Amino acid sequence: MQITRQRVRPAMDVNTTETCPTCFGKGTITSSILFTDTLESKIDYLVNKLKVKKFSLHIHPYIAAYINQGLVSLKRKWQMKYGLGIKIIPNQKLAFLQYVFYDTDGEEIDMKEEIEIK
């Protein structure tokens, strides 16, 4: 008796959406794992294309704690790569995956959905 095996092909389209933690599962958001990659691409665009050297990033306190944790944190890596002018400020008023960039004068830098960088 001969047993045949079928070839299993890996899935090519991986769904990375999650249920929204803010609205308790009524909507979907992009994966929170990819959020720091999105932030880094926005910082890269801000520093290299718009030539802004000093700015502050206002984000939710949980995300701020994740970015600031450890001796070699994401914040330190970003400061070494893009310059020392990055300040991470926790803001309880923001939603879980919401962020706002401010320049040194305290004015908001518009980095929302129209500048979607991958």
Domain range for 45: 34-109
Termini Cα distance of the chain: 52
Is 68 contained in some domain?
Answer: yes
**Rounded (5°) CA angle 20-25-27:** 60
Is 74 contained in some domain?
Answer: yes
The helix (run of H) or strand (run of E) holding residue 28 is strand 28-30
φ, ψ of residue 52 in degrees (nearest 5): -95, 120
Is 80 contained in some domain?
Answer: yes
Rounded to two decimals, the pTM is 0.72
pLDDT along the chain (118 residues), means of 10: 68 71 67 84 91 92 93 93 92 90 90 56
- Helix, strand or coil for residue 49? helix
Is 118 contained in some domain?
Answer: no
Here the tokens at position 108 are 């908001």
Cβ partners under 8 Å of residue 45, min gap 6: 111, 115, 117
The CATH number assigned to the domain holding 75 equals: 3.30.2320
Here the tokens at position 53 are 């050297």
Is 48 contained in some domain?
Answer: yes
Is 50 contained in some domain?
Answer: yes
- Helix, strand or coil for residue 102? strand
Q: Total domain count for the chain?
A: 1
